[in-house]
Amino acid sequence: MSKIKAKRIGILTAGGDCPGLNAAIRGIGKTAIVEYGMEVIGFSAGYTGLIHKQYTELKEKDLSGILTLGGTILGTSREKPFKIVTEEDNDKPALIKQNYDDLGLDGLVCIGGNGTMKTAHHLSKIGLNVIGIPKTIDNDVWGTDMTFGFDSAVNIATEAVDRLHSTANSHGRVMIVEVMGHNAGWIALYAGMAGGGDIILIPEIDYSSDVIIRRIEERFHHKKPYSIVVVAEGIKHPKDLSAARYISEMIQSRVDVEARETVLGYTQRGGSPSPMDRILATRYGSYAAQLIAEGNFGTMVALRNNDLVPVSLEEVGGKLRLVEPDNNLIQKGRKMGVCFGDE
């Protein structure tokens, strides 16, 4: 493959925010400028900025002091330029291609989750030189062992579980903690295990109310006066109730015990990134700049066995990386008596 040294590149952050976005922007920009002598621009509010040609020139000095910041200095949005809702939407891909060409871009780095990677693949098919970087607290982007943002979210969720232990013990209550993750149970699994959860419910494992009740009753029978239940938001539950509220009401209707729920919500997406996420995002960003310099486009930066590798965007789009029911951490949890609602 002939190598192309790109002279001018764009960066955008799309989808939901998460800790580590600025670290990734910094990793891309500093490597592109210092190592490869490229010009760098940042698009405002994700794909919206690309559609409306809203951008900022990024110099090396602009990338200093942002490593530890939460959020994204570029802003983000959930714009999906290939989703046709109105007649005007048909023009968005063409506008993006025109703006990309008008700005003289040699490459575009799209930082985001599953939807962002799917759009990045579509942009690649219409002629843009695209590199994807996977980010999401949900850790569900297919093709990589880990997304940045996940470690920070697990730290936040684990701290919440830690704090609830003492309250649960003092009052002899069942405390239900709901964490984010959409249809993936990675946060619940890791925070539940790290925080000593007694029952962990994830979307990938069907749970039985009878099993949950039996486990709580067993704990009281063995003089364990409280229980911690960690629940992923994506488990099966009525749409008019949160997952935590549903489990709480179910428990209180069948066992003579007080149950309280805590929904962590957006606290898991905010704040300064953990050291691990800063490092991972920096590695991803720097490697993305390297892939652009090598002309290895149409790919997503991925972590596999702690090595960075390019993965085809075509392979990534439309797939989710979910927790396998036989995941090693689940197996270890079962051997320690952790209940996953199914047995």
Could you give the CA distance from residue 168 to residue 225 in angstroms, rounded to a whole number?
8
Could you give the CA distance from residue 292 to residue 313 in angstroms, rounded to a whole number?
14
Would you state the torsion angle of the CA atoms of residues 268, 77, 283, 192, taken in this order, to the nearest 10 degrees?
20
> What pLDDT was estimated at residue 83?
85
Contacts (Cβ under 8 Å, ≥6 apart) of 115: 14, 15, 78, 80
Could you give the CA distance from residue 71 to residue 50 in angstroms, rounded to a whole number?
19
Strand blocks (E) in the chain? 8-13, 39-43, 55-58, 107-112, 130-134, 174-179, 199-201, 227-232, 259-263, 299-304, 307-312
Closest CA to 141 of 182, 93, 202: 182
The dotted CATH code for 8-149+273-316 is 3.40.50.450
Per-residue pLDDT tens over the stretch 241-278: 999 999 999 999 999 999 999 999 999 999 999 999 99
Q: 3-class SS at 194? A: helix
Give the residues of the chain that fall short of pLDDT 70.
1-6, 85-89
Give φ, ψ of 320 to 5 degrees. -120, 140
Instruction: Give CATH 3.40.50.460 domain extents, the chain.
Output: 151-269
Would you state the torsion angle of the CA atoms of residues 210, 211, 212, 218, taken in this order, to the nearest 10 degrees?
110
User: Is residue 138 annotated as part of the catalytic site, yes or no?
Assistant: yes
| Beta sheet of 174-179, edge-to-edge order | 199-201, 227-232, 174-179, 259-263
Calculate helix-pair angle for 21-30, 275-294, nearest 10 degrees. 40
Instruction: Give CATH 3.40.50.450 domain extents, the chain.
Output: 8-149+273-316
Q: Check: pTM over 0.75? Answer yes or no.
A: yes
Of 17, 106, 138, 140, which one is the catalytic site residue? 138
Is residue 144 within 8 Å of residue 256, measured between CB atoms?
no
Q: Quote the CATH superfamily of domain 151-269.
A: Phosphofructokinase domain (3.40.50.460)
Rg of the chain in Å (alpha carbons) = 22
Contacts (Cβ under 8 Å, ≥6 apart) of 217: 255
What 8-state DSSP symbol labels residue 141? B
Per-residue pLDDT tens over the stretch 53-102: 999 999 999 999 999 999 999 999 999 999 876 666 678 999 999 999 99
In the block, tokens 């109310």 appear at 209
